[in-house]
Amino acid sequence: MNSLKFKYYMEKPGFILDVDLSVPAQGVSVIFGPSGCGKTTLLRLLAGLDKTAAGYCSLGTDVWQDASGLMLPPHRRPVGYVFQEPSLFTHLTVEGNLSYGEKRIPTPSLNKSEILEMLGIGDLLKRFPDKLSGGEKQRVAIARALLSSPSLLLMDEPLSSLDLSRKRELMPFLERLHQELKIPILYVTHSPEELIRLGDYLVVMEAGKVKLHGTFPEVLAQAQLPYLLEEEASVVLEGRVGYRDEDWDLSLVELKDFSLWMADGKILPGQKIRLKIFARDVALSLHPNHGTSVQNCIHGRVESLIPDIQPGVILARVRVGTSVVLSRLTRRAVNQLSLTPGREVYLLIKTARSLNSV
């Protein structure tokens, strides 16, 4: 499989960027981290907008920068860039802005009508930017970047300048890009929700360095990630709705290694979804579930026990096939159950929350 490889070292007053990474040249790779950690600098280096002599960058077999002094300028890199602000030409209509993107490529590889339909902007073509909402402007900016037929799409916090209602307006369109685009996307954000809903491959940055990276399930299951996200410990698993029990308003979600009942989200059988399982909603037992209200009982094996940031609490990583589920329990419970790595247990999963269809 092709990959995007980059290695950069850059020093600025009070800041050093030092990254060496390879990410898949498919799907959405999310670059996540707090403000000032180097996310935007990394994207600008990839686009050729910023430069450092100590760098390397290639997409598949195409090399854009190397140690020999090769440094392709921005206009020679097949990159589409979506900035935090839409940056549309105010004197041009939506159609004029889109035509500007098309002019770069004599034979576009992406179908214009499909992009207009995918982003829901077909009825905006005659409007000027000052007649568009923030979400509409950003959708036009994304379409303009796509119409340049890039081999790589860079998106630098495209929702950060929008209010909550506009973010909710734009998120379904971003999810559709995630589903239907065949080109790789590097998506920069400091929002846990965007990371969880869009990411296939995750790169967590801190102070100019890569702290964690890996596929979506690999990184989401690492114990230190919830604290980096500043949210409660949880895992997110991808699956498919296999069956809907309309009598009880429940859906059976088939995951890679097991199945879970969840409250019916009216998602049709066959639809792919992501489930979020909070560690606080997972109890551990040495025996199968009998006589409780819990609907999900899964056999697994304790992989590790990690002290929580709260005294007296342990975060247990439990392996179920190739998947990992987290359980948050007291040290006393760990002692009473004699839990150690390798111990077989049953996970009693109270609830699973559907995040979105993917």
Q: What is the mean pLDDT of the chain?
A: 86
What are 282's two structure tokens?
């997972």
DSSP 240-264: EEEEEETTTTEEEEEESS-EEEEE-
Cβ atoms of residues 313 and 295 within 8 Å? no
Does residue 101 carry a pLDDT above 80?
no
pLDDT tens figures, 180-218: 888 899 999 988 778 878 888 999 998 999 988 998 767
Domains defined along the chain, listed by start:
3-220 (3.40.50.300), 234-357 (2.40.50.100)
DSSP collapsed to 3 states, 296-308: EEEEEEEEEEEEC
Instruction: Compute the distance between CA of residue 82 and CA of residue 63 in angstroms, rounded to an integer.
Output: 22
Summarised one tens digit per residue, pLDDT across range 246-280 is 888 888 899 989 999 888 667 778 888 888 888 88
Q: What is the pLDDT of residues 10-48, one digit of tens each?
A: 998 889 999 999 999 988 999 988 888 999 999 999 999
Place of tokens 């940031």: 309
pLDDT at site 358: 44
- Give buried/exposed letters for 201-233 (b at 16+ CB in 10 A, else e): bbbbbeebebebbeebbebbbbbebbebbeeeb
What is the spatial distance between Cα 219 and Cα 336, in angstroms, rounded to a whole number?
30
pLDDT of residue 210: 94
